[in-house]
Structure 1
Amino acid sequence: MKQLIVYYDGLCPLCQKSKRLLERVDRFRQLTFSDARRMPVEQQPRLLERMHVETEQGVRYPGIEGIRLLTKTLPFLLPLAPFVSLAIVLRIGAPLYDGVAKNRVIPMSCTTECSIN
């Protein structure tokens, strides 16, 4: 059974909601979630642009390609796989996904090390 790592933005409410949904449909515990903000700083910009899904072989699929991998892996999402694949083939999946990803709202977050001038 495939095991996947899902990298998501831990400060993004939409990403947190998506994570909770995926946790509910992951009946066979195939997914591990990793907050991209806890990754090494040099990896964060790319991982925070869009969700990434990583295979056991270490191959990362960003955005809509990651969604396609999830729909092909999780039995509950399998009925959506043809629609996601069709959206990719028609070249509307990536622009749609990227449009949502670029326009998501990240609430301001500050730690004790943060200062606003």
Structure 2
Amino acid sequence: MNKHIVFFDAECPLCRTVKAVLKRLDWFDTIFWHPVQEVSESIKTRVNEYKNMYDEIYMFTVDKQVLTGFNTIRKILSLLPATIPLALLCYIPFVKKIGDPAYRFVSIHRYKWFGRVPYKKS
């Protein structure tokens, strides 16, 4: 598989909605979306140097990089033709200083704001 792999929380309504929208904008099918609820132990070990995979979005890029949080969002936006202008704004140097804490704030509060839904393996 020669796609970027994005690990998302399938119990989070916000995460599921964002994934659905971005998947529709992925015209060239460059991203494979994988629920963290189905992550194997070998993958968990590989990302163990990072935070808990439920805390933020993770991405394995095709060139074997691991991205997390706001960096993942920026990368995803840069891969989708419709969101490239937004991605360019996200790569302006000072935007990361705002984007990282903003991403963490939303991530920490997402269950309180949007609830949690049971995940059913498809």
User: What TM-score do you get using the length of structure 2 for normalisation?
Assistant: 0.78
Q: Aligned pair 1:46/2:60, yes or no? A: no
Q: What's 1:81 paired with?
A: 87
1:95 aligned counterpart, secondary structure: helix
**One-letter amino acid of the structure 1 residue matched with residue 116 of structure 2:** P
Q: What's the C-alpha RMSD, in Å, of the aligned pairs?
A: 2.4
Q: What's 1:23 paired with?
A: 23
Q: What's 2:116 paired with?
A: 107
Q: What's 1:35 paired with?
A: 35
1:58 aligned counterpart, secondary structure: coil
Q: Please list every run of 5 or more consecutive structure 1 residues that lacks an aligned counterpart in the other structure.
A: 112-117
Q: Aligned pair 1:11/2:11, yes or no? A: yes
Whole-Å separation in 1 of the counterparts to 2:89 and 2:27:
22
Whole-Å separation in 2 of the counterparts to 1:26 and 1:99:
26
Superposition deviation, residue 53 in structure 1: 1.8
Whole-Å separation in 1 of the counterparts to 2:118 and 2:89:
36
Q: Please list every run of 5 or more consecutive structure 2 residues that lacks an aligned counterpart in the other structure.
A: none
Aligned length: 108
**One-letter amino acid of the structure 2 residue matched with residue 67 of structure 1:** I
Of structures 1 and 2, the one with the larger relative CO (CA 8 A, separation 6+) is 2
Whole-Å separation in 2 of the counterparts to 1:65 and 1:30:
17
Higher Rg: 1
